Structure 1
Amino acid sequence: METKPPSQSPNAPFDYSFVDTVGNIAIYDDLLSGPRVVKVQPADTATYIESLASGIYEYAREAGGSIPYTVIREVSENFIHAQFKEVLVTIRDHGNTISFADHGPGIPSKEKAQMPGFSSAVEPMRNYIRGVGSGLPIVREYLESSHGTITIEDNLGTGAVVTISLARGADEELEEPFDKSGLGRQDPFQAPIQAPMTPYGAPQAGVPIPEASGSVFPAQTVAPAYPYSAPVTCPPTSPYPAAGNPYGTAAAQPYPQATYPPTAGQPYGAAPYPAPYPPYGSAPAYGQAPPMPAPALNEKERLYLKMLASEGPLGPTEMAKLTDGKPNTVFYAFERLEQAGLIQKMGKQRSLTPYGQQVAQNL
């Protein structure tokens, strides 16, 4: 049985070589039930820090989190400044948010603690940590580059709470940001969502339905069946040639002017409703709007479409592993592809829509 030094007296210098307190790791499967609590037993300082950081990493990954071990280790080492008093680590948001709390002296200069070069480490601490003011700055830089966050707050009574989070990554659902108009979700990478479009071929609000006149029908502005795209203006249709009109001869006389008003709903002479996903690259049928062109895609989005075409439905984490990318990056790319109508959600996985299949075949 391992022995440990007796508890230190209040006036004795702190022995940085041994941690004689028990640390606690609380894992929340959800916020509607109590956490599972794992104890980290006293040990020499190097072993204690390693056991604490490794345990946090394993439990967070088991819950579905993606915070790297090096980031967790940097924050865990920070407990040495609090002399490991009342160590409590909380894991939530499916492993993507981790809070490190203690009852040490606290962190008065919270902003400086996240800047390189600022450190309160003294010589005995440097036997177990670098102590050069690089720990929290490294954590902050990583999280900012990964769309994550780090916050430092005062604990209740005394001490500090450092919280790191990638809760907007991987298979975690984003909070749905809504604009003030109530039109729905606003993606920071996309233009604002427009008001709901008028159904294809229906009269535009406040615009009179034009009568058929002259030799050609007037152009009709219609909304295509694809989401998040500008209306498509169909060119005026040409008069039908007479049956058997020899090639190269003059066109037949146009149809006479209509003598009755168009029926309610679809204007007289308007193009018929198109198929939901016209063949990519094919010529439009007579009187129909041209098919929607392939959207502008960056290199990663093109790669993800090809992978979905070859591998079938994939989640962000699976795609990140196959492409050596970051789950958070894949997650945001999936959102843009979904809004463009190229992929669709199937639980936590994404698959190609018929339109996305046609675009992927031409990449």
Structure 2
Amino acid sequence: MNIEEIRALFPITKEVIYLNSASQAPLNTLVHDKLQAHIKSELNFVNKKGFNRDDIRMPLSKLLGGLPNEYALTTSTGVGLGIVAQGFDFKKGDNIIIPEQEHWNNTFPWLNIKNKGVEIRFAKLNKDNSFDAEAIEKLIDKNTRIVAIAAVRFNSGFRPNLSAIGKIAHKNNALFVVDAAQAAGMIPIDVEKDRIDVLSGCGFKWLLGLHGTGFLYVSKRVIEQINPVLPGMFAAERVHDKLIYFNDSRKFETGTIAYSLFNTWSVGLKLLLKIDVKNIYKKALENTDLIIKELQQKKYFIATPTKNREERTAIVHFRTNSLETTKSLYKKLTENKVLLTLQGENIRVSPNFFNTKEEIKTFLNLL
């Protein structure tokens, strides 16, 4: 697909310069049209086909690795991580390692189990908001049960070395749990090569779905270490007087989900497979090359680590010399139909594969 064909799928590109995919992907016409068709089918059930959950599991496994039955369908990143936090058999004296200043979805589920006598250890960030595998290694010991990190950090766009951290976790018999909310669909991920045991994510950002869609990958290697906490009719064999869980990630599924949202999400996933995440990531780095160079020339403070290109993503955080002027700049950009996010004291810009260099230059000229 060429850029004109891609942009035609995203009507918002005709109205504004959308540099806010880290917040939410704009709705594309493929997902929109399938949603309308699904809603129309609800008016008349004649010849209606039931939702096939493999229509989501299959493309997720192609995008992220692993097997389709290693994916459970959830409603959000936080729900998936919460299932794991509550389902793991922690003992008093165990510990969990998390980098400092992670997203709340990757802190609240773990902090919530401190009352079980579990210690939460926070790995220190470097001065440039990056962190190294060594920061995890300094804290890990024989009582570490979980190492939990984000594949891309929401508040800096930093991309840690998943494979190196996974290797450290496994060497110490700990599970490697990854929050994929800001990564899946934007950077290449392979759960097996990256040594990921658990991967939880959402559909409404880089995976081109809507709010209310998500997934939980649990590797078959560790499936027995996590117990279901909310088993519903899709978690086990259909036997009335016995609970016989499936021996794969389906055991973490509950009851009925929003089939309309998941059914339509499938075409968004197919679009990503067609474009290829490797191409999306290449475009992300090209976009942020332009942005970072110009921000540096104009003397803005960049909160995103920029030293190593392989640690960068489509997300860049920057600010002026005061919160007041940063807010004024954000207002100016919004008034000029450049959509991004004011997050704390920083402006977060997050272009996607449908953005053009001309749009990036327009944004930079407004600075």
Range class of TM-score, shorter chain: under 0.3
Normalised to the residue count of structure 1, the TM-score between the two structures is: 0.20
| Structure with more relative contact order (C-alpha pairs < 8 Å, separation 6 or more) | 2
Structure of higher CA gyration radius: 1
